[in-house]
């Protein structure tokens, strides 16, 4: 028997997983594009289940440090479901095509239904290309081929994500200022100066460089060493002057 309310091929709805409703009176069907359809039992002999709702993961938990990062994803991989499970009366957990664990609200209030967040700290989905730590604060920063820049805090003994943003250029090397307030990153053509704010990374300015492979701060943070082709250049960080 084929349900009369099945999504059908015309909606590009490739079914990835099905789970029981929290109350046990129906089931949820998830597609490859993140759309979830809910079914409940009916009294019809020809169609034993009625399609009652369809929704997409939508809405971001603004209190989370990765809120802006999730907003940048649009309809891309964070919303594509490869497997899912209902873990409580109002909570659905699903795995994305990029291996991230997400959670989504399943409740009656329209303003809350479909809000998503990470179940645990989000991971890089491609190779990590550069790592730097802070001399005076328990900060660690990573960047990778997934074109993201991530700031972690580890003073509690556990890694906690503080910031996560998408970047426009791949970073070859980077170093954090000893105060934890600044970051200098080398791309293929520029040195990019960031200020690390509470809720975002702010690009202050860019300086053109040729073939820079390594950047390092001095222990005091007043000097910045930059490799450029076969040379090492030293700058006064706060003025940009050569000593």
Sheet holding 49-55, edge to edge: 15-20, 27-31, 36-41, 49-55
The H or E element spanning position 186 is strand 182-186
Strand pairing report for 201-208 and 190-196: antiparallel
**Is the pLDDT confidence value at 113 over 60?**
no
Cα–Cα distances in angstroms (integers) from residue 239 to residues 136, 209, 235, 236, 243, in the given order? 22, 17, 8, 6, 10
**Is the pLDDT confidence value at 132 over 80?**
yes
* Higher local confidence (pLDDT), 65 or 158: 158
Paired strand residues for 152: 140, 161
Cα–Cα distances in angstroms (integers) from residue 47 to residues 1, 51, 87, 145, 198, in the given order? 9, 10, 28, 48, 54
Residue 103: which of 85, 125, 126, 123 has the closest Cα? Answer: 85
Q: Tell me, what's the pLDDT at 75? A: 47
Across the range 210-239, mean pLDDT stands at: 90
**Is the pLDDT confidence value at 5 over 90?**
no
Domains of the chain, first to last: 12-118 (no CATH), 128-236 (2.130.10.10)
């Amino acid at each position: 028997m084929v349900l009369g309310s099945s999504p059908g091929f015309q909606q590009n709805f490739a079914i990835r997983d099905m789970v029981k409703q929290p109350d046990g009176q129906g089931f949820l069907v998830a597609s490859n594009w993140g759309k979830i359809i809910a079914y409940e039992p009916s009294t019809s002999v020809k169609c034993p289940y009625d399609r009652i709702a369809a929704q997409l993961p939508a809405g971001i938990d603004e209190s989370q440090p990765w809120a802006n990062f999730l907003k940048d994803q649009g309809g891309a991989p964070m919303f594509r479901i490869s497997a899912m499970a209902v873990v409580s009366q109002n909570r659905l957990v699903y795995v994305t095509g990029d291996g991230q664990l997400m959670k989504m609200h399943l409740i009656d209030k329209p303003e809350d239904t479909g809000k998503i967040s990470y179940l645990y700290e989000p991971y890089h989905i491609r190779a990590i290309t550069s790592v730097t730590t802070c001399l005076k604060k328990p900060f660690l920063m990573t960047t990778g081929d997934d074109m993201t820049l991530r700031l972690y805090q580890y003073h509690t003994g556990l890694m906690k994500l503080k910031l996560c943003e998408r970047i426009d250029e791949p970073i070859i090397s980077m170093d954090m200022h000893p105060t934890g307030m600044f970051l200098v990153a080398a791309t293929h053509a520029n040195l990019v100066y960031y200020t690390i704010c509470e809720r975002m990374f702010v690009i202050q300015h860019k300086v053109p460089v040729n073939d820079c492979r390594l950047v390092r701060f001095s222990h005091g943070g007043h000097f910045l060493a930059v490799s450029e082709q076969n040379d090492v250049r030293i700058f006064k960080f706060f003025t940009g002057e050569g000593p």
